[in-house]
Amino acid sequence: MENRFAAARRRYLRTHMDGIYTGMLLTGTLEPHLKEIGEAAQAMFDRLVEQMKKPKDDLIYNYGRSAKRKAQSYGHKALI
């Protein structure tokens, strides 16, 4: 079964590189190629989603922390 990334690759090859698509189809290399592309893209997507789930990159927290550092470096007492 094809995932969405393999389907997108198939659509791209068929639309923009019809000669390569047809050649791969006739030689039997299209399906292994699509499987490899689909698995690699899905793995990258899964890693990206896991990275985005981590709370360590909370923008509000980082912004507040850097604002305090700036205040300290300029000697502002109100924000410290």
Q: In this structure, which amino acid lies at residue 18? A: D
Residues 6 or more apart whose Cβ sits within 8 Å of residue 79: 67, 68, 71
Residue 76 has what pLDDT?
57
Q: Inform me whether the pLDDT recorded for 80 exceeds 50.
A: no
Residue 53 has what pLDDT?
83
What is the spatial distance between Cα 63 and Cα 69, in angstroms, rounded to a whole number? 10
Give the residue with greater pLDDT, 13 vs 2. 13
Dihedral sign (CA 22, 26, 28, 31): positive
* Segment 23-70, tens digit of pLDDT: 999 999 999 999 999 999 999 999 999 888 876 645 555 555 566 666
